[in-house]
Amino acid sequence: MADAPVDISALRRALMVPEAGGFCSFEGWVRETNEGQTVSGIDYNAFVPLALTEGQAIVQEVKQRFAICRATAMHRTGYLPVGETAVWIGVSAAHRDAAFSACRYIIDEIKQRVPIWKKEHYASGEVGWVPCHTL
Amino acid sequence: MADAPVDISALRRALMVPEAGGFCSFEGWVRETNEGQTVSGIDYNAFVPLALTEGQAIVQEVKQRFAICRATAMHRTGYLPVGETAVWIGVSAAHRDAAFSACRYIIDEIKQRVPIWKKEHYASGEVGWVPCHTL
Amino acid sequence: MPNIELQYFAQLQDEVGRAHERRHTSAPTAAALYDELRAAYGFALAPACMRVAINAAFAPWEQPLGEGDHVVFIPPVTGG
Amino acid sequence: MPNIELQYFAQLQDEVGRAHERRHTSAPTAAALYDELRAAYGFALAPACMRVAINAAFAPWEQPLGEGDHVVFIPPVTGG
């Protein structure tokens, strides 16, 4: 959980181990439109202590479920304009299948379980809490 | 196809469009061991004109098959020591499912169709062409 | 009556008008406390679509509340 | 007899001992040319596991060869 921009290249470097042959990463960016409305930015509100616990639990789960070397996840809080990176996930593994599967698992679980909420700010000046994930 | 290190952050930046909410990337790194032998580096030999044509065809295919915004792939040639990035693929999309699927499709197709061959250099001093993909 | 530390997030925070509240309550469980708050503040969200965290860990709705417990009702999450 | 421009990669390059060759051949197709070269250089790879590229595009093994064609036999690829 980070309330300021994070050095992604340092997160990536920490996943580099000699046994790793594949690396999969996912980034969630603030998108310009949602449900037909023009978005100017998103305010991420998080219950930080529980978000950290859940995030660490998810990373432990992927280490048990998939043949990976290392995994990291980062989520921003606060207001982010369109184009900013809100979430970053990186997984290194000996082979690509585990890297892709674990990376996908982490983002899916974050979206299901980690107490973070998006308040969208629209170009119209209105704001709104995103009710739930549509995709 | 690149015979020298590439600025990955520039490749990534070129995929950033306001409609993109998800970004998936895959990197292939030179791994320290293969089939139980210690590898010191890999020499990538490519038939460059056909590799470029096939690479572009694969990127066109993902644009037709998946709801993505942009996709890029880069492959190094020449000798790379352990830990170097041999291949980089990035895909941006409105939603994560398309980003993951397209990224996976590109690396799978590269490994199947693009005329590039690995010659492994072992710590023992021996060298060997990798016979074919085991995973 | 135990003293409960409440923290509100997302739409609940907007509905209450603040992020924190210290509340004396006779509600024996998290479920009963949510009903009490919903009546007070008119929360739109039904508990069926929510979870509850007690002392920064997910807990069953029927968990009894104790003095000083920190309670957070968790609307459907939308991060990522 | 047409003049063919051959380029060798990977293990074929090791077996031939060079990367390029200009060859006069009566082989009417890529398949026949591979057989001829295999007899000359002792290539280990069977054509069944390979592909052929003529003028930098994948082509059928039975494609007739023409004067000046650039031919590359493609061992199983191992990039990525």
* Alpha carbon of C25: minimum distance to chain A alpha carbons (Å): 23
A106 pLDDT above the threshold of 70: yes
Q: Where are the alpha helices (DSSP H) in chain C?
A: 10-16, 30-41
Search chain A and give the residue with CA nearest B18. A32
* Alpha carbon of C61: minimum distance to chain A alpha carbons (Å): 16
* Alpha carbon of C19: minimum distance to chain A alpha carbons (Å): 11
- Taking only the tens place, the pLDDT of each residue in D10-55 is 999 999 999 999 999 999 999 999 999 999 999 999 999 999 999 9
Range of the domain at C36: 3-74
Residue B41 in contact with partner chain A when CB distance is under 8 A: no
What pLDDT is attached to residue A133? 59
Which chain D residues contact residue B133 at CB under 8 A?
A: 76, 78, 80
CATH of the domain at C57: 3.10.20.30
- Taking only the tens place, the pLDDT of each residue in C9-27 is 999 999 999 999 999 999 9
Q: How far is CA A91 from CA A69, A97, B4, C60, D25, in A?
A: 7, 11, 25, 32, 52
B134 pLDDT above the threshold of 50: no
Query: For residue A5, what are its two tokens?
Result: 């921009």
What pLDDT is attached to residue D20? 97
Q: How far is CA A128 from CA A60, A120, D64, in A?
A: 33, 5, 67
Q: What percent of chain B has pLDDT over 90?
A: 92
Find out whether B68 and B105 touch, Cβ atoms under 8 Å: no
The predicted complex's ipTM stands at: 0.93
Query: Which contacts qualify for A9-15: CB closer than 8 Å, 24 or more apart?
Result: A9/B9, A11/A72, A11/A74, A11/A88, A11/A90, A12/A90, A14/A70, A14/A72, A15/A69, A15/A70, A15/A71, A15/A72, A15/A90, A15/A91, A15/A92
Model confidence, pTM? 0.94
Best of B19, B31, B97 to disrupt the A interface by mutation (most A CBs within 10 Å)?
A: B31
- Which amino acid is located at C5 in the chain? E
How many whole angstroms separate alpha carbon D60 and alpha carbon B16? 40
The three-state (H, E, C) secondary structure of chain A, written as one string: CECCCCCHHHHHHCCCCCCCCEEEEEEEECCCEECCEEEEEEEEEECHHHHHHHHHHHHHHHHHHCCEEEEEEEEECEEEECCCEEEEEEEEECCHHHHHHHHHHHHHHHHHHCCEEEEEEECCCCEEECCCCCC
Residue A59 in contact with partner chain C when CB distance is under 8 A: no
D79 falls within a domain = no
Question: Which of C13, C72, C79 is nearest residue A75 as measured by Cβ atoms?
Answer: C79
How many whole angstroms separate alpha carbon A9 and alpha carbon A11? 5
Instruction: Kindly list the domain boundaries of chain B, sorted by start residue.
Output: 8-29+48-116
How many whole angstroms separate alpha carbon B56 and alpha carbon C44? 51
B135 pLDDT above the threshold of 70: no
C79 falls within a domain = no
Contact B117 D10 (CB under 8 A): yes
Class of domain A8-29+48-116 (CATH, top level): alpha beta
Mean residue pLDDT of chain A comes to 94
- Taking only the tens place, the pLDDT of each residue in B5-46 is 999 999 999 999 999 999 999 999 999 988 888 999 999 999
Number of domains in chain C: 1
